[in-house]
Amino acid sequence: MAGQRKTEDQKARGVRTAKRVTLRDVAEAAGVSHQTVSRAINGKGEIDPATQQRVLDVAKRMRYRPSRFGRGLSRPDVVSVGLIVPDVVNPFFPEFVAGVIAAADARDWQVLVASTENDRSRELALLRSLGQQVDALVGYVTHTDAEIEPYVGTMPLVVVDRGMESANHAVVQIDTAPAIRAGMQHLIDRGHRRIGMIDCECRSAPMVRHRTFLDVVGEHDLPVDEGWIVLGEQSPDGGAAAFEALHAAHPDLTAVIAFNDLVAIGALRGARRAGVHVPDDCALVGYDGLSVVDLVDPPLTTLHIDKRRLGELAIHQVDQLLAGELPPPIVLTPTLKVRGTT
């Protein structure tokens, strides 16, 4: 209440509360990069003494005060990394976050985690707000370089699994196409020719799944129908509803490849409700390699992503950026794990 009264008193007197000067503001005023300002203020890394003094003078003149988060809460020599994920409920992301934190801990860095809740406007807001508090960002970013540039500026940023190249930021990419090919080839090797797909309308990875699915179907001269590819929500309930709709319209399909493991787990539920036995009546392949797939009955065949490794690679890319380099993209390819649904 006291803070609120103070703000109201300021408004009544016509006093405007000043916007906090950010590290990015200092970088623009000094004509140097975000990384150079960080090195100058924290006294770490290689920096020309004259440049460091110039940056410190600019920071003092602008009355710049580092965020308590950007200063590692209490230690100015600790690197802080902001991590942005789309969904903390989806069991894919805790393993990824664990990999980021483990790799950061090994470097004595700190990590701040935020979720966009799958809201693209919130994603942009977090890029800006979190970027003002940390030395580097790692994020599942759905926007293009041009769209995020006003929000991140020169901030070191690692883009994870966006499905598009970046000329300005480091990238860690999941190679979806060969994974879908491996899943399709596994089904074909099992004798399946009438294969359906439960896809999802979100980001660019589903487009790769859809395109690769159709490429493999064409290469093997398999029958296909537009109705064999259905869209479902990215959840078990969505998977169950999508499978039931797919089976009702096309009961002669003998296999289905799902957008991810959550959808596939839901598809198993939908199959039971429809009286379809997996894998005897219809085989099923998931994607992601969640730890829970071993607990369903039957255990799910899936395209496994090493999510902890994905997080470790993201921090490796941060390391390169903080050293002043723009590293080449790192690509991680999922592997087929055959279990009881095929």
Identify whether residues 215 and 300 lie together within a single domain: yes
CA distance 239 to 242: 5
210-256 per-position pLDDT tens digit: 999 999 999 999 999 989 999 989 899 999 999 999 999 999 999 99
Q: Give residue 153's pLDDT band: very low, low, confident or very high (50, 70, 90).
A: confident
Residue 336 confidence (pLDDT) above 90: yes
Identify whether residues 169 and 315 lie together within a single domain: yes
Q: Give residue 34's pLDDT band: very low, low, confident or very high (50, 70, 90).
A: confident
- 5, 38, 70 - which closes a domain: 70
Identify whether residues 251 and 166 lie together within a single domain: no
Of 79, 75, 97, 73, the residue nearest 87 (C-alpha):
97
Identify whether residues 187 and 261 lie together within a single domain: yes
Does residue 340 form part of some domain? no
Contact between 208 and 173 under an 8 Å Cβ cutoff? The reply is no
Residue 2 confidence (pLDDT) above 50: no
Identify whether residues 163 and 193 lie together within a single domain: no
Identify whether residues 239 and 202 lie together within a single domain: yes
Domain containing 205 equals 176-304
Of 61, 71, 69, the residue nearest 29 (C-alpha):
61
Identify whether residues 200 and 286 lie together within a single domain: yes
Residue whose token pair is 């942005």: 84
Identify whether residues 180 and 297 lie together within a single domain: yes
User: Which has more pLDDT, 153 or 224?
Assistant: 224
Question: Interior CA angle at 327 toward 324 and 332, to 5°?
Answer: 145
Does residue 342 form part of some domain? no
Looking at the structure of the chain, the number of domains it has is 3
CATH code (residue 46) = 1.10.260.40
Residues of the chain with pLDDT > 70, as a percent, come to 87
pLDDT at 238 (0 to 100):
95
pLDDT at 330 (0 to 100):
96
User: Which has more pLDDT, 253 or 206?
Assistant: 253
Identify whether residues 184 and 271 lie together within a single domain: yes
Residue 3 confidence (pLDDT) above 80: no
Does residue 46 form part of some domain? yes
User: Which has more pLDDT, 56 or 72?
Assistant: 56
CATH code (residue 296) = 3.40.50.2300
Instruction: Indicate the residue type of 108.
Output: D
Helix (H, G, I), strand (E, B) or coil at 337: strand
- Cis geometry, peptide bond prior to residue 66 (ω within 30 degrees of 0): no
As a dihedral over the C-alpha atoms of residue 114, residue 305, residue 184, residue 202, rounded to 10 degrees, the angle is 10
Does residue 285 form part of some domain? yes
